[in-house]
A and B are shown apart, each in its own frame.
Chain A
């Protein structure tokens, strides 16, 4: 299947700093990318959906000024956690898909964020 990379895999930062997570589709054009947050032993919680060249659509309860998403190209989306706090510590997963409704979405390996 197609490959989606995510960088970094782990990041530790101090409270109040900003952290950027990159999600790249390596061998297909990702017209849509999804950003998820996953708490321990829980399912994936969709945070936002981004379409290339458009503003991201955020799920209810997700602060758009806190979690900045940029999808400037067909292969790259970024999630920036601004002014991170310990409660933002979590596992963040991106996934990407092309525009064919019959194709699946592919997942990145995830990023473990720890805010001290």
Chain B
């Protein structure tokens, strides 16, 4: 079974600085998706970025980028130029590309609370 681990319960960063959130996972599959989701105080889950495992190039979305190390099973999120609106819980998630019994369900990490200091 796949697992996702986020070892940082909480991180803080000064506004306008850069912060990196860590995520590791375990799987025996070769093709899969990895995601970072943001959950602000409103509790609406928002997709930040996703990475297909078969793509070597790291995904980027504006100020958000990932460092995907497939062999190390590591998937960190870098937030550049941190803004007050980035304050939220961030969840790393894994999804298989194979239907099987999973129904494409997401496997979630425990989350990291990101605090932005003004």
Contact = CB atoms under 8 A, between A and B. Distances in A.
Interface residues of B, number: 20
A109 B103 contact: no
A43 B109 contact: yes
A25 to B, nearest CB: 15
B19 interface: no
A104 interface: yes
A93 B91 CA distance: 15
B103 A57 contact: yes
A44 B108 contact: yes
A109 B108 contact: no
Interface residues of A, number: 22
Given A91-B43, A101-B97, A109-B44, A43 B91 contact: yes
A107 interface: yes
A49 interface: yes
A49 B44 contact: no
Interface of A: 1, 32, 34, 38, 41-44, 46, 49, 51, 57, 91, 93, 95, 97, 101, 104-105, 107, 109-110
Interface of B: 35, 42-45, 47, 50, 91, 97-99, 103-106, 108-111, 113
14 contacts: A34-B103, A42-B110, A43-B91, A43-B111, A44-B45, A44-B106, A49-B105, A51-B103, A57-B103, A101-B97, A101-B98, A104-B35, A105-B104, A109-B44
